[in-house]
Amino acid sequence: MPPRRKAAAAPTAEPTAEPTPSSSETTTTSPPSSTDWYLLHARMLEINDPQIWRQILVPPDITAQDLRWLMTAAFGWAGGHMCMWTVRKVTSIEGKSEPLVTEINPEGFAIPMAAFGYGDANQDPDADFSAFDEDGNSNHGLKDKQTLAELDKQYDFTNNKHLLHWEYDMGDSWEHIIMVEKRMSEAEVRESGALAGGAKKGVKRTSTGKEKEAEKAEIKLTPKILEGKGHGVAEDAGSYPGWDDLKDAYKAKGTMKDNEEYESRRDWYEDSCGNGDPKGLKGKKRLEHFDVNEANAAWTMYKETWIR
């Protein structure tokens, strides 16, 4: 494995002109409350055409097991492969993207282009390699009930001094990193309306005053996938070269470059792939497609099926 990696910047964003100090010199914010929620920015490494990212809101007591299935749902994985959690120490910040503005974070999140090491053993949490479930899956590297708040206390995720690294499918080795956009109090989470059960964007409440506050208080606070961009990667595609080859197969569709091998790849993806899409991947719009409602439905299904 290479000694260090760099987290990709936001899609089409350019680094800021101002020099950015190393991570050891960055200014940290005031410690948040232990009950504050985490607004997370997760993205896949090594994929830039387009980049694939998700924004996720979670409570401080979310466990490694819960976060594993939340990530599985967010990125559209079928969930049939082993995965591994590790903690990566940020060794330097080599610039930041232009702020990625989202509905819940209108001031934007300037994604750090962070170089991070694979690290010595003391940079990683205690591995629990015996924690296999009955289907042979595992939360490799983190104990099932270990919480994000516990890890943050040790590794300072809030200030992005360390990053959570999640590898899915130890054969294809799909790598994801998780950064903290910001912390939010429970009151801010309720006020944002992001977790309102069944609420639709653009629908205004008709109640006022105490009734409105009571409605906010009744909102069930639960982890949720909020936004994202980039189509989920094909399960068992053959790692990054295989994913690029599949995209090439769709680029060639209907052109002189098309051939039987490309047609076979497309048929496999649309008909047989574990997380395939019958609509295919032809065109920029399909490659950038992300359905947040489908992702949250998958999260609900995984939660009810696998989380004990």
221-264 pLDDT, tens digit each: 899 999 999 999 999 999 999 999 999 999 999 999 999 999 99
Confidence band, pLDDT 50/70/90 cuts, at residue 5: low
Confidence band, pLDDT 50/70/90 cuts, at residue 94: confident
- The class of domain 4-195+217-230+291-306 in CATH terms is alpha beta
Residue 295 has pLDDT above 60, yes or no: yes
Q: Which of 12-16, 237-241, 288-292 has the lowest mean pLDDT?
A: 12-16
CA atoms within 13 A on the CB side of 113: 15
What span, in angstroms and rounded, lies between the C-alpha atoms of 220 and 217?
8
User: Mean pLDDT, the chain, as a whole number?
Assistant: 82
Q: What pLDDT does 8 receive?
A: 47
> Which ranges in the chain are annotated with CATH 3.10.290?
4-195+217-230+291-306
Residue 129 has pLDDT above 50, yes or no: no
Q: Which of 85-94, 113-122, 138-147 has the lowest mean pLDDT?
A: 113-122
- Are 234 and 243 a contacting pair, CB within 8 Å? yes
Residue 209 has pLDDT above 90, yes or no: no
| SS3 at position 58 | strand
- Are 93 and 251 a contacting pair, CB within 8 Å? no
Q: What pLDDT does 1 receive?
A: 40
Q: What pLDDT does 140 receive?
A: 57
Residue 153 has pLDDT above 90, yes or no: yes
Type of residue found at 280: G
Q: What pLDDT does 18 receive?
A: 38
Confidence band, pLDDT 50/70/90 cuts, at residue 6: low
| SS3 at position 217 | helix
**0.85 cut: is pTM over it?**
no
Asked if the peptide bond before residue 50 counts as cis, ω within 30 degrees of 0, the response is yes
Q: What pLDDT does 141 receive?
A: 75
Average pLDDT over residues 8-37: 51
